[in-house]
Amino acid sequence: MILSDQDIKRAVEEGKIYIDPFNFSAVQPASYDLRLDNQFKVFKKNHNVVLDPKNPVSDMMEDIYINDDSYFVIHPGDFVLGLIKEKTGVDNRHVGRLEGKSSLARLGLIIHTTAGFLDPGNNLKLTLELFNASALPIKLYPDMKIAQIAFEEISSECERPYGSSGLNNKYYGSDGIDASKAHLNFK
């Protein structure tokens, strides 16, 4: 069941959901608004020929940091990784589902291509997989509302939360943008 605004506030107070920094004005009827940080990661298109999930891609990407009073332009058809400003986490009984904002989707901005799930036990700065489906470039500003997260309670507490030994916890507790670690699935 998706948590309501009052359930989200209660879960934060009880430590079942973690949002830092937390702002009461960001609580929506059944979600919490998240803001864009100032860090991006882009592919070096002129230096690479193919992406191979069996191999690391971190050297194929470059970090871009923008000033708080500046902006980042995502061009039509471009794919970049971005970062959520808030650190968000859930206990072993909850999950989070990252969703786009309708107003930005109407501009053609897709905020996650498939990975919008916050596993029980994880606490991190969520990475955005940004894609511009518009015919025009889109400006992205630090601190702008970029996404929302809905929280759900699962049927029972999970036995092995994200971060447990024996699980492939590639992005556990991340505070920055991690390039794909798909290559670790082949080991």
Count of residues for the chain?
A: 187
CB-count exposure of residue 132 (10 Å: 0-12, 13-18, 19+): buried
Q: Supply the residues annotated as catalytic.
A: 129
